[in-house]
Structure 1
């Protein structure tokens, strides 16, 4: 067994154990921390598969932004753990069925050759100088530039619509006018008063 295979098995073991702790931890903060470990380990496995862009995006977006915000919200809220645990057994059959389907799908994908299912051939090794980030950028800005720009416009419209829907104009709120602050003169704000000195 070479070093890369050993690292893969180590990361895979940590990934599976941390994912199990996400769904079995009783404390939501502990579950969120185990989810951070799961995302970080998945990023390490993607780095082994030479998917550097996906690994960095996973760590930066999910670990660095989404999970930090989630942890902040969970720690700010006063969560009643007893009330959360009440519905656990009622959702257990549905969760078991979904988990069984996921195990069957993964078994078909990973062990397809043992069941007589021929999958797609493995891609050839691109070599040492290959960069999937560069290739992804080349595809995005050449062949898929119009869908990429269309997706960015859709996201921009959605962001503007979200701001417009939640915008409320209030009349009783004091606002600051920067133009009026810049145009003010010293004589308008400061008054020098000459007072006589008083004797004790």
Structure 2
């Protein structure tokens, strides 16, 4: 057994354990942390399979953004787990049926993929020669090849999708923005346009006024 094979079995075992603990942990925060661990193990497996882009995206997007946000939401909401567990065994048969159905579908897809992969490997071993274009594409890393396709052949659809997402973000902010009367904020433009006359007021006080006030205080003291 090689080192790569041993690491694959190790990461896979930790991934299965973390996935099992996600659905069996009694604490919601612990389940979210186990899900983060499962994402990390899947990322390492993808890295071993030379799918660097998927590995980095899984860590940055799901672990770094989605799961951290989900963890903070769970901690702030203080979800009552006992109330959520009510009626669990009543719906368990239906959930188990759907789970078995999903496992059978995934098994069928994986078995077909393994058969196609085995036939391709057998054809290559049999002496089939790859074309120069296929040989050149096989030498390019996955991330670079994906970047060439994404920003080359699909550049305009990517830009259109980015503009649509930007419009959706601006619309969501505009629809949910509410001005509060008790909130205080600074306006830098008004602070830069301010003049001395707006902030400072000169008041002329007679010179004998303090002396008269002091004399009146002395008379009251006597």
Which category describes the TM-score, using the shorter chain as reference length? 0.7 to 0.9
Deviation at 1:32, TM superposition (A): 0.2
In structure 2, relative to structure 1, the CA distance for the partners of 1:172 and 1:76 (3 Å cut) is closer
Paired residues, number = 197
Counterpart in the other structure of 2:83: 83
- Residue deviations 1:61-99, cap 9 Å, x none? 111111111111111122212101103223312321222
Counterpart in the other structure of 1:134: 144
Deviation at 1:140, TM superposition (A): 0.6
Partners of 1:102 and 1:149 in 2: how far apart?
35
Deviation at 1:174, TM superposition (A): 5.1
Partners of 1:17 and 1:127 in 2: how far apart?
37
- SS in structure 1 of the partner of residue 153 of structure 2: coil
Structure 2 gap segments, 5+ residues each: 125-134, 215-222
Matches within 5 A, 1:96-135: 96-112=96-112, 118-119=115-116, 122=120, 130-135=140-145
Deviation at 1:10, TM superposition (A): 0.8
In structure 2, relative to structure 1, the CA distance for the partners of 1:171 and 1:26 (3 Å cut) is closer
More moved, 12-21 vs 129-138: 129-138
Counterpart in the other structure of 1:49: 49
- Bigger helix share: 2
Counterpart in the other structure of 1:27: 27
Greater gyration radius? 2
Cα RMSD, aligned residues only: 3.2
Partners of 1:9 and 1:122 in 2: how far apart?
25
- SS in structure 2 of the partner of residue 67 of structure 1: helix
